[in-house]
Structure 1
Amino acid sequence: MDALPLLLIRIRRTTLTALTSLASANRLATYGLLSLLLALSAVAHAWRQYANFYSAAVFLSRSAGSVLALANLGFFCTLVFGRVMQTIFFGPLRPSEVERLYDRIWYFLTESLLAFTIFRDSFDPPFVLSFGLLLFLKSFHWLLQDRVEWMDQVPYPGPGWGFHVRVGVLFGLLGSADVVLLSWAVAEVLEEGVGGVVLFGNEYAILIATLLNLILRYSIVTYDIRRASRRGGENAPPWQDKSMWIFYTELLTDFLKLLTYLLFFLLILTTHGLPLNIIREVYLTARSFVTRVRDLIRYRSATRDMDARFPDATDAQLGGDRVCIICRDEMHARAAPAIPAQPAQQAPAAHQAQDGPNMTPKTLPCGHIFHFQCLRSWLERQQSCPTWYVLFSVFCT
């Protein structure tokens, strides 16, 4: 009897999802039909006005209404092509991915309005087409970023081989498009001078840095999955250095983005004036890079010789409170090393013990006790005592 309400709830949710998808498809089909009829009516009107093809084409290119109708049809065709590509490479999008995609597109469009004021002299149909192509490619970069982050959250054994094939092909397609379009923008700037094309050159350079970040993160997660497959699968010990490799990846990406933004900022400042559209991006990227470098220096200083510098906690020090406040797991004092009877047979077991994380309780100079690995993971995010938030530099020098 209890299973019947759950079954009804699942049926209702499935029905609502199907109806929502059908309504979305119907809206797209209706929009496409209206766009096609509007474009055909514009072409028919031009053909009635002028009997030959050349005169009708000139009329269509000079009539504002005809250009708008044809541009609307082109937008619909681009939307359909993007939906097909999304279905091939990503399949159905999760609600969080759709929400984040809409937010990013809206923010990018509003931010681009400031850039259009700087390059208003270059605002023409080719500029609009180039901007549409840029937005199209950025959307797939954003979706790919969400999928790589999702891949890191999938438990062992991770996504199937089809996911890796699609991601690999998408890496190649997006990387090739970014490099080709960046080369085109650089060639245009060198030939025609600093104009609206430099905006696209900056954006494609940022996309290349972002794609490099995604490739590195994907490689790290893939290596972690393969490493776990060689060490027991779901029961494999966690990879202790994974978070640091991701940290270095983010640091490299921030450095590349900062160089790109500074070059673009100085170039526009000397030719067109203050570029208001990227002041926020320059500030945020610079602050992120400086913060990461400072955290890395503090982390290296705090974790230098941690095992030898911080003494192991004894049973007397642990007392009745044995819970590590970082992982909420119970702490146990390290057992005294015993002399093995058969060293040759005990060597493999010792090697396996070293393969996992070091969960030995460590006593800090402030008196608080934490697992060694928990403390190390905490210091990767912030360099302070987890209990009373005093910087490690105060008592770790």
Structure 2
Amino acid sequence: MRSIVLMGLSLGLTTAVIGNAYYQKQQFYPSVVYITKSNPSMAVMYIQALVFVVLVGKMLRALFFGQLRAAEMEHLIERSWYAVTETCLAFTVFRDDFSPRFVALFTLLLFLKCFHWLAEDRVDYMERSPAISWLFHIRALSLMFVLGLLDVWFVRHAYESTVAKGASVQLVFGFEYEILFTVVLMTFIKYVLHTIDLRSQNPWDNKAVYLLYSELVMGLIRVVLYVAFVFIMIKVHTFPLFAIRPMYLTIRAFQKAAQDVVLSRRAIRNMNTLYPDATPEELSTGDNVCIICREEMTTGCKKLPCNHIFHTSCLRSWFQRQQSCPTCRLEVLRMPRPAAAAQPQQPQPQQQPPPDQIQNPFQNLQGMFGGFPFQAAPP
């Protein structure tokens, strides 16, 4: 209801502005010039364009996503706020190129960013969703296809414009759509991996490995793109302040991905070499249900230093994502090795000083009290 009222008010104001311009000039082209020269008329037109973008966004959201979850809305609002802030910083850098076309391009960029973020969150939801319908697959594939085509087209347009007219604001748009295209690629890789995992009867052990290395490669590509963009901007224009925060987050994400690869390989190596296999007696006396897969444990199980037992395959998949016990969250890489921890510490014998070095507790009494009472006086 609120959207309908807002749309009606905006449409009424726009109609009034256009009618007043035509009444003043009586011709089409002079009316357009009159509107573009009037700041209040342009403000009304901007509001109408914003309302139109919001309505189109709601229609496309209903088409590709249906009802958004609370977490998706929260992520969308948070990311949009930072994107608007970075856009305002970009306005200060390219204030000489400020025009209605410039505002329209940045609005379209923010509009497409929102759909990239929603597609990423929706594909990540596949891993936690109990059932995925065919409508979900059709929506996801069609959305990723459309977004990929738009990203490629805008990158090509920015490249041709830069080659023909020289360095301009198209550098920023071309770079932003390159980053968005990497988001589409990573989202598609996650979609393929989640789909294979859902269709397999048993849990796919190597899924986390492919996810780790895919995120590492995509993170490296984004870092290279950001470094190249900053270098080009400094060379042809000025330092891009609006790129500091996303570049920092990209570098930190790449560092975390590299660290996750190293730690997961170390944890899996420790599992294969240091942690003992669980015996049938240990499985029978304790809870023999693996907390990771919720299935009964009979053979092929490992016992962590904290004495919790899991399937070897489940534990390998778990260590590829985080290096802690699934039950007690104990950091397994910080634990001492089982061989070293199992050795009892022998008490160290106290060394007694030699007899000639034992101090007599009464040897200083004479100096303290001036001699004993029965001590003979000197002659």
TM-score, normalised via structure 1 length: 0.75
- Identity, % of aligned positions: 36
How far does residue 290 in structure 1 lie from its aligned partner after superposition?
2.2
How far does residue 261 in structure 1 lie from its aligned partner after superposition?
1.2
Match in the other structure for 1:51: 26
Could you tell me which of 15, 18, 37 is aligned with 1:40? 15
1:205-354 paired onto structure 2 within 5 Å? 205-228=178-201, 237-304=202-269, 306-307=271-272, 310-314=275-279, 327=292, 334=299
RMSD in angstroms over aligned alpha carbons? 3.0
Q: Evaluate the alpha carbon distance shift between residue 327 and residue 87 of structure 1 in structure 2; reply closer, same or farther with a 3 A threshold.
A: closer
Give the letter for the 2:42 counterpart: V
Q: Evaluate the alpha carbon distance shift between residue 226 and residue 62 of structure 1 in structure 2; reply closer, same or farther with a 3 A threshold.
A: same
Q: Evaluate the alpha carbon distance shift between residue 272 and residue 332 of structure 1 in structure 2; reply closer, same or farther with a 3 A threshold.
A: same
How far does residue 392 in structure 1 lie from its aligned partner after superposition?
6.6
Match in the other structure for 2:331: 389
Per-residue Cα deviation, 1:55-108 (whole angstroms, up to 9, x for no partner): 212111211111222222222222222222111111222233223222221121
Per-residue Cα deviation, 1:28-49 (whole angstroms, up to 9, x for no partner): 1111111111111111211222
Contact 2:233/2:239, CA 8 A, preserved across alignment: yes
Measured in 1, the distance between the counterparts of 2:43 and 2:162 equals 29
SS at the partner of 1:361? Answer: strand
How far does residue 109 in structure 1 lie from its aligned partner after superposition?
0.3
SS at the partner of 2:67? Answer: coil
Could you tell me which of 64, 67, 77 is aligned with 1:92? 67
Match in the other structure for 1:376: 316
Measured in 2, the distance between the counterparts of 1:95 and 1:369 equals 35
Q: Evaluate the alpha carbon distance shift between residue 292 and residue 61 of structure 1 in structure 2; reply closer, same or farther with a 3 A threshold.
A: same
Rg (Cα) greater in structure: 2
Match in the other structure for 2:98: 123
Q: Evaluate the alpha carbon distance shift between residue 151 and residue 120 of structure 1 in structure 2; reply closer, same or farther with a 3 A threshold.
A: same
Measured in 1, the distance between the counterparts of 2:235 and 2:226 equals 14
Bigger proportion of residues as helix: 1
How many pairs were matched up? 336
Measured in 2, the distance between the counterparts of 1:90 and 1:388 equals 38
How far does residue 128 in structure 1 lie from its aligned partner after superposition?
0.6
Per-residue Cα deviation, 1:210-247 (whole angstroms, up to 9, x for no partner): 0001111111111112223xxxxxxxx32222222222
Per-residue Cα deviation, 1:128-180 (whole angstroms, up to 9, x for no partner): 1101111111111122122212222221xx32212211222112111111100
Give the letter for the 1:76 counterpart: V
Contact 2:206/2:317, CA 8 A, preserved across alignment: no
Contact 2:289/2:296, CA 8 A, preserved across alignment: yes
Contact 2:87/2:106, CA 8 A, preserved across alignment: no
Deviates most, 213-222 or 164-173? 164-173
Contact 1:314/1:333, CA 8 A, preserved across alignment: no
Deviates most, 26-35 or 375-384? 375-384
Q: Evaluate the alpha carbon distance shift between residue 369 and residue 50 of structure 1 in structure 2; reply closer, same or farther with a 3 A threshold.
A: closer
Give the letter for the 1:251 counterpart: L
Q: Evaluate the alpha carbon distance shift between residue 368 and residue 92 of structure 1 in structure 2; reply closer, same or farther with a 3 A threshold.
A: closer
TM-score, normalised via structure 2 length: 0.79
1:22-171 paired onto structure 2 within 5 Å? 26-155=1-130, 158-171=131-144
How far does residue 284 in structure 1 lie from its aligned partner after superposition?
2.1
